[in-house]
Amino acid sequence: MFERVTSRFPRTSASRTRAAVLAAGLGTSVVLGAGVAVAVDNTAASGAAGAVQAQAAAQSKVAEAQAKAVEAQAAKAQKAAEAKKAAAAKAAQAKKAAKAAAKKKAVSWIDPVESYKLSASFAQNGGMWAHKHSGQDYAVPTGTPVVAAHGGTVVKAGGNGAGDGPAYGNAVVIKHGNKTYSQYAHLSSVNVKVGQVVKTGQKIALSGNTGNSSGPHLHFEIRSTPNYGSAVDPVKFLRGKGVTV
C-alpha cells in the first residue's frame, strides 16, 4: 500500500492570501479614513477663514460708517462755526452802521460847501463892511454848490440880500427852529423859494461874487432871528454840533 502524504501548503497559502486581502482592505479603509479626515479639516479651515473675512469686512464697513459720521459731524460743526462767525460779523457791522447813523442824526449839521478855504472870520474888522464881520467866509470858486447846513424852511430868498441889504447880494435864509437860522450870501444863483422845506445837505444855491464882495466866496451866518444883527460865531456853532470846520 502507498503511504498517504498530506500537504498543508495549499491551505497555508489560502490563509495567507486571505490575511493579505484582509490587511489590504484594512489599509485601504485606514487610508480612506485619513482622506476623509483631511477633507473635513480642510473644509473646517476654509469655513473659519471665510468667517474671519466676513467679520473683517463687517468691521471695515462699521469703521467706514463711523468715519463718515465723524466727518459729517465735523463738517456740521464747522458750518455752524462759520454761520456763527458770519452772524457775529453781520451784527458788528449793523451795530457800527447804527452807531454811525445815530452819530450823523445827532450831529445833523454840515458845512455849507465842500473843498473850501476859510477866509474872513466872524467879528473880524475890515473895510468891506460897516461893522465887524457878521459871519464866516468860505473861499470857493463861483458856481460851487451851496447846501443847507441843516434841514428847515426857507424864510428869505433872492436879491438885495433877501431883504438884508444890497451888500449881501443874492442870499438865502433858512429857519431851523429853536431860534436858529442860517444865512447864505454873495450867491451867483438861488435855487429855492420862500416857504420851501429843505433837508440837510440839499442844494439851495451856487456860490458867487454878488453884492459887496472882493472875490468869489460864500458868506455864511448863524442867527437867532431871520434878520441882520442877530448873528453868532458860525464856526463855533458848527463845531459845537460836531462839524469839522
Q: Assign 234 a pLDDT band (cuts: 50, 70, 90).
A: very high
Instruction: Please indicate, yes or no, whether the overall pTM of this predicted structure exceeds 0.85.
Output: no
Cell of 244: 469839522
In this prediction, residue 48 carries a pLDDT of 74
Higher local confidence (pLDDT), 240 or 107: 240
**Digit-coded pLDDT (tens) for 160-204:** 999 999 999 999 999 998 899 999 999 999 999 999 999 999 999
CA distance 28 to 131: 147
Residue 137 contacts by C-beta under 8 Å, 6 or more apart in sequence? 118, 119, 120, 121, 217, 218, 219, 220
Higher local confidence (pLDDT), 162 or 40: 162
**Other Cβ atoms closer than 10 A to 156:** 20
**Digit-coded pLDDT (tens) for 69-120:** 888 888 888 988 898 899 889 988 888 877 766 666 555 999 999 999 999 9
**Among 233, 239, 230, 237, which Cα is nearest to 120's?**
233
Beta strand pairing status for 145-147 and 180-190? unpaired
8 pLDDT higher than 50: no
